[in-house]
Amino acid sequence: MPGHRYTKSEYALHQVVETFGNPLYSLKEHHQIHTYRVVFRCCQLEGIDYLVLRYLNTGALPFEELSEEWLYDGEA
């Protein structure tokens, strides 16, 4: 999102979800179900399973959703 600045915690969460989500997508595509379950279990233990699943289903990383305050920050 142009003009939006992540906080350090938002950026870190963004990176973690992307780091887990991309391999999960690849594993699922290659039908490596056992490894997929192991990686997803790691996501559950880290408490990011919902965010990773949302990333896989929508392609949107955390904090990429459109926010109304971002519409009026001078960006066109």
Both tokens of 71, joined, read: 């519409």
Put residue 33 in one of left, alpha, beta given phi > 0 → left and psi -120 to 50 → alpha.
alpha
pTM beyond 0.75: no
For residue 39, the number of C-alpha atoms closer than 13 Å in the C-beta half-sphere is: 19
CA distances from 68 to 27, 71, 73 (A): 36, 5, 10
15-72 confidence digits (pLDDT tens)? 999 999 999 989 989 999 999 999 999 999 989 999 999 988 888 877 765 454 544 5
The per-residue pLDDT for 34 is 93
